[in-house]
Structure 1
């Protein structure tokens, strides 16, 4: 393997390598980290310390393609304590923290995963300064959705944000990579959303049969296979964009739960929270944060 700058980057916290030929992820990592045992490399994968392009990847047999970039975060015990896996802090003050979350990272704990979450990591991060510091969830992103996410540093700020969410948040813009060519360049979708006993959301056109949901979209770019849409939420319902893209006849890439029938071309869900604009809960000044559109979304929709 060549160590030219064009395909191999190394710093104090990570190793980043460009894929030159098709390979399975574990086999590729064993070559890159030839000084480590197979079990050690498998553990690094299982802990979520490996990203492919713009998402965390834990599958040993994930198929790599030439041109992708694999980044390996060094063993957590060997790096500075301020390393946050699967996220980047965009903004922080004494009241809030705004992050760019990668696809594959849970927002909060589940029964099967307690520690590898955005909340748990940020809690440890703020407690280093003061053991009494805490972090509070304001809103969530699905595990497989990337992008801008905000947390509060006090119960009071959390309540103020949540109680006045519709007035506080001025803009929530997502980008969605969807299947097929969307012929209508822009439009909006409305329905009433309901949830089944198995937690699946679905649309109803019967007035007041569920929670009203409205989604606006416009086509950024596309081809015959994929379209990249800018999606604005006028209401914030559970799985709203995913259900409405299914209603549009163009399900989100990789979204088997809501209508995707094709092979997942990007190895993740094609949904990214690009922009969050809101009034600061204390200063009342309007601030806005953006997370770049994932490269895989742009490449597939050219």
Structure 2
């Protein structure tokens, strides 16, 4: 076999470089032959496996040459202080700012209650004091990566949500979209409505929620474009709908018309969040590096 039989080890993580097409579970079983099939499946289920910095739990996830697979070791994952699929960028007595991986839910759903950013942060703060809590201020879609903020009290949550436009100074996203975006920069303005099937769509009759997105092309080729986006409003699926409206849906976004899934995830990343601290009023800026495949696919 042409796989790397000697994975590199860094920070309690096994790292593999893919040299041959395969599916994720069979690949892991071949590389972790000292473990039982059930043990390897449990590692996948717990969210300990990333493909190109994207949490993957799907057993038959297709692997392509050139991709990187990393596995967080069991002994590390079960330690109380390890967060899976995210890292804390900043924390004080009022707020927590994280960098969330694609593939991690922000909050619980009917199907998944525990493997979420909120649940992990709740456990994190309760290690200091069982009375501590964490509150959702805004959300990122499961398949969107990047900067996200949480409040540590109901009072701070309300202040952030009630004064979001005044406190938040910059929300910059980067999207890998389909096709060659000819327009160097511009703005999309529409009113968004939600269908009974939870599909967002644009209307021009002002009956929906006003949504404004500013965009600037960073680089492109004939197949893909890398676009930087500034949100003037923060509506559900706003960027995904607006890029689809332009005829350039976000890569991997089948829901809004994408025909490709070249990077194995949604091509959307929250790069910068800048805001005035809700208690100290200090201007803060947090940045999460853009995933490398976004750049390589749009060169």
Mark yes or no: TM-score above 0.5. yes
2-structure distance, mates of 1:77, 1:273: 27
1-structure distance, mates of 2:261, 2:173: 19
Partner of 2:161: 162
- 1:80 CA displacement: 2.6
Aligned length: 297
Is the CA contact 1:54–1:295 (under 8 Å) kept in the aligned structure 2? no
Partner of 1:273: 270
Q: How does 1:136-215 map to 2 (within 5 A)?
A: 136-206=135-205, 208-215=206-213
2-structure distance, mates of 1:242, 1:223: 20
Match of 2:281 among 284, 287, 293: 284
Is the alpha carbon distance of 1:13 and 1:126 closer, same or farther for their aligned partners in structure 2, counting shifts above 3 Å?
farther
Is the CA contact 1:275–1:290 (under 8 Å) kept in the aligned structure 2? yes
TM-score under structure 1 length normalisation: 0.95
What secondary structure does 1:297 align onto? Answer: helix
- 1:79 CA displacement: 4.3
1-structure distance, mates of 2:77, 2:293: 31
1-structure distance, mates of 2:212, 2:283: 24
1-structure distance, mates of 2:198, 2:75: 35
Is the alpha carbon distance of 1:282 and 1:31 closer, same or farther for their aligned partners in structure 2, counting shifts above 3 Å?
same
Gaps of 5+ in 2: none
1-structure distance, mates of 2:58, 2:77: 24
Q: 1:184-235: per-residue Cα shift (whole Å, max 9, x none)?
A: 11001011111111111110122x2211111000001110000000000001
Match of 1:245 among 243, 246, 249: 243
- 1:78 CA displacement: 6.1
What RMSD in Å do the two structures reach over aligned CA positions?
1.4
Q: How does 1:11-50 map to 2 (within 5 A)?
A: 11=10, 13-50=12-49
What secondary structure does 2:222 align onto? Answer: coil
Gaps of 5+ in 1: none
Q: 1:33-67: per-residue Cα shift (whole Å, max 9, x none)?
A: 11001121112112211000121111212121222
TM-score under structure 2 length normalisation: 0.96
Q: How does 1:256-267 map to 2 (within 5 A)?
A: 256-260=254-258, 262-267=259-264
